[in-house]
Homo-oligomer: A and B are copies of this chain.
Amino acid sequence: MDKNLKRMTTMHRMQTKGLELFYKKGFYNTSIDDILKELSLSKGAFYYHFQSKEDFFISIIQNLVVRKVYGMLIEPIEGETDPFTAIEKCFENALAIAEHNELDYGFVLGNFMNEFNGRNEEISKYLRDIYKVWEVNLVTTLQKGKTDGYVARHVDSEGVAAFLISSYMGIRMLMVEGNSRNLSYHFLQQIRQYMKSLAQTRLV
Q: Which A residues have a C-beta under 8 Å from some C-beta of B? A: 24-26, 28-29, 110-111, 113-115, 117-119, 124, 128, 131, 156, 158-160, 162-163, 165-171, 173-174, 176-177, 183, 186-187, 189-191, 193-194, 196-198
Decide if B190 touches A193 in the complex (CB within 8 Å).
Answer: no
Decide if B189 touches A156 in the complex (CB within 8 Å).
Answer: yes
Distance A189 CA – B156 CA, assembled complex (angstroms): 9
Decide if A173 touches B110 in the complex (CB within 8 Å).
Answer: yes
Decide if A170 touches B165 in the complex (CB within 8 Å).
Answer: yes
30 A-B contact pairs sorted by A residue (CB < 8 Å): A24-B118, A25-B118, A26-B29, A28-B29, A29-B29, A29-B119, A110-B173, A110-B174, A113-B174, A113-B176, A114-B173, A117-B176, A131-B174, A156-B186, A156-B189, A159-B187, A159-B189, A159-B190, A160-B190, A162-B171, A163-B171, A163-B186, A166-B170, A166-B183, A167-B170, A168-B170, A169-B170, A169-B173, A194-B194, A194-B197
Chain B residue numbers with a CB within 8 Å of A183 are 162, 166
Chain B residue numbers with a CB within 8 Å of A173 are 110, 113-114, 166, 169-170, 173
Distance A43 CA – B32 CA, assembled complex (angstroms): 29
Decide if A166 touches B162 in the complex (CB within 8 Å).
Answer: no
Decide if B187 touches A162 in the complex (CB within 8 Å).
Answer: yes
Closest to A183 in B: B162
Chain B residue numbers with a CB within 8 Å of A166 are 167, 170-171, 173-174, 183, 187
Chain B residue numbers with a CB within 8 Å of A162 are 171, 174, 183, 186-187, 190
Decide if A186 touches B169 in the complex (CB within 8 Å).
Answer: no
Interchain nearest-CB distance for A153 vs B (Å): 14
